[in-house]
């Protein structure tokens, strides 16, 4: 805690995340397995008694100063909507939230698919929860963060990112069942097994991402309707046999990916982290071939990482760019990193950003 003039200022933070496995299944009532990164978004926050909200960030221009009553869908525009939107959603749910001054600093990279947006929302949520004495359960804070992103910013988000930022614990991945929102901590500490997860940010984001996302969602909904099922969660490979040729591979990705999450969790529960590599590889193949959401840069990162000694690798996140992950023996970290960088240089691509992901704690008070 520090003092600025008369006001008491405290700090809260929330982490970025990567998804270990369970990709593109959150809109099919599936399972996913994110874990929190050491990279965090920090907010310094102090209560204001005049009902105004001010915010600035070291990562983005355009600070804001507006009355909390003026926060709502589309207002404020730009990045501050992620922060102000959380206060709006908490107020809308009937909680006694007032104005605040907010200063944001972050080590989560923006727009790299590591969920800087949820990190910002969740840091604000835990700050508001404590500053206004709300004492809310984390799943309710997560719902307010999702509403901020969906309704105030107007961006589609399913809820995995906010659950990860609020609920993850160090040394674990978070098994999230998107059918009922239930979660379980699954042991995941690669360093204990002499392993590391590398996150390879390709630094590309192809324009078709948003349209293709909508098309995949629509295909999945069409497939479940054709099967007369509420979702593909309980579908088996045999159920899919009658589907049209355009829907079959899409549905096959969903069904096989949900099964792979279960297999990874069983291996982690059994202390067999080293053995999950082939499931990561199979996830990538399914996303690339059946779901068609990979791209040349992601395929290159994954292939080169494997050739240089990764036990398994896959794209992570929505696809068409963004990041890939690779499970790597620690003694191969440098070799894999160098090989990926060299391959991107040879192909004339922008240099990728490679970092090690250490399963870290969720949102909380810093001092
Ligand atoms: P991702 O969540 O994968 O990083 P998004 O497009 O969902 O990508 O969210 C990125 C946006 O979130 C940024 O463009 C910005 O508007 C906002 N944002 C995230 N972190 C910060 C920050 N530290 N300061 C200001 N804005 C931020
Ligand atoms: Mg985001």
What residues does the ion ligand 2 have nearby, CB within 5 Å?
115, 117
Q: How far apart are CA 174 and CA 163, in angstroms?
A: 9
Q: What is the mean pLDDT of the segment spanning 50-61?
A: 96
- Rounded to the nearest angstrom, the distance between the alpha carbon of 170 and the centre of ligand 1 is 23
Contact 336, 355 (CB under 8 A): no
Report which bound ligand comes closest to the CA of 84.
1
Q: What is the pLDDT of residues 242-255, one digit of tens each?
A: 999 999 999 999 99
Q: Is the pLDDT of residue 6 over 80?
A: no
Out of 54, 116, 121, 202, give the residue to mutate to test ligand 1, the one with the largest number of ligand atoms within 8 Å of its CB.
116
Closest ligand 1 atom, residue 322 Cα: 3
Task: Note the Cα 181 to chain centre separation in Å.
Answer: 15
> What is the per-residue pLDDT for 44?
98
- Rounded to the nearest angstrom, the distance between the alpha carbon of 36 and the centre of ligand 2 is 14
Closest ligand 1 atom, residue 41 Cα: 23
| Continuous H helices in the chain | 80-92, 116-131, 138-147, 160-167, 209-227, 248-269, 277-285, 296-307, 333-346
Q: Is the pLDDT of residue 174 over 90?
A: yes
Q: What is the pLDDT of residues 9-33, one digit of tens each?
A: 899 999 999 999 999 999 999 999 9
Q: What is the mean pLDDT of the segment spanning 331-356?
A: 98
Report which bound ligand comes closest to the CA of 153.
1
Burial category of 367 from C-beta neighbours within 10 Å (exposed 0-12, middle 13-18, buried 19 and up): exposed
The binding-site residues of ligand 1, defined as CB within 6 angstroms of any ligand atom, are 41, 57, 59-60, 79, 82, 104, 106, 110-117, 120
Q: How far apart are CA 61 and CA 164, in angstroms?
A: 27
Catalytic status, residue 193 = no
Residues β-bridged to residue 185: 174
Helix or strand (DSSP H, E) at 254: helix 248-269
**Domain limits of the chain?**
2-185, 188-357
Report which bound ligand comes closest to the CA of 109.
1
Instruction: Using pLDDT thresholds of 50, 70 and 90, give the confidence band for residue 113.
Output: confident
Q: What is the fold of 2-185?
A: Ribosomal Protein S5; domain 2 (3.30.230)
Q: What is the pLDDT of residues 190-235, one digit of tens each?
A: 999 999 999 999 999 888 777 898 899 999 999 999 999 999 999 9
Contact 28, 254 (CB under 8 A): yes
The interface pTM score, or ipTM, of the predicted complex is: 0.99
Written out in words, the top-level CATH class of the domain with range 188-357 is alpha beta
> What is the per-residue pLDDT for 7?
62
* Closest Cα to atom 6 of ligand 1: 111
> What is the per-residue pLDDT for 156?
82
- Rounded to the nearest angstrom, the distance between the alpha carbon of 106 and the centre of ligand 1 is 10
List the catalytic residue out of 101, 161, 201, 290: 161
Average pLDDT of the chain is 95
> What is the per-residue pLDDT for 124?
98
């Amino acid at each position: 805690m520090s003092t600025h003039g008369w006001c008491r200022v405290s700090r809260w933070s929330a982490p970025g995340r990567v998804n270990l496995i369970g990709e593109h299944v959150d809109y099919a009532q599936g399972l996913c397995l994110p874990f929190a990164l050491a990279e965090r978004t920090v907010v310094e926050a102090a209560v204001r008694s005049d009902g105004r909200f001010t915010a600035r960030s070291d990562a983005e221009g355009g600070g804001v100063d507006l009355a909390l009553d003026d926060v709502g869908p589309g207002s404020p525009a730009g990045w501050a909507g992620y922060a102000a939107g959380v206060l709006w959603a908490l107020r809308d749910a009937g909680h006694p939230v007032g104005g605040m001054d907010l200063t944001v600093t972050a080590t989560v990279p923006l727009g790299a698919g590591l969920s800087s947006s949820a990190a910002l929302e969740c840091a604000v949520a835990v700050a508001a929860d404590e500053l206004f004495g709300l004492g809310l359960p984390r799943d309710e804070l997560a719902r307010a963060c999702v509403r901020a992103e969906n309704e105030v910013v107007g961006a589609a988000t399913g809820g995995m990112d906010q659950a990860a930022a609020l609920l993850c614990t160090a040394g674990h991945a978070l098994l999230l069942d998107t059918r009922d929102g239930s979660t379980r901590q699954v042991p995941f500490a690669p360093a204990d097994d002499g392993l590391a997860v590398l996150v390879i940010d390709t630094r590309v984001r192809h324009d078709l991402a948003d349209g293709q996302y909508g098309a995949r969602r629509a295909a999945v909904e069409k497939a479940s309707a054709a099967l007369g099922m509420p979702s593909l969660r309980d579908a088996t490979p045999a159920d899919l046999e009658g589907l049209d040729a355009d829907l079959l591979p899409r549905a096959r990705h969903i069904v096989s990916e949900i099964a792979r999450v279960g297999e990874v969790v069983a291996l982690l529960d059994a202390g067999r982290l080293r053995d999950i590599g082939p499931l990561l590889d199979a996830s990538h193949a399914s996303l690339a071939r059946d779901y068609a959401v990979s791209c040349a840069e992601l395929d290159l990162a994954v292939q080169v990482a494997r050739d240089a000694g990764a036990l398994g690798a896959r794209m992570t996140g929505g696809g068409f760019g963004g990041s890939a992950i690779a499970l790597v023996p620690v003694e191969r970290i440098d070799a894999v990193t160098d090989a990926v960088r060299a391959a991107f240089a040879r192909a004339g691509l922008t240099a990728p950003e490679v970092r090690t992901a250490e399963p870290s704690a969720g949102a909380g008070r810093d001092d």
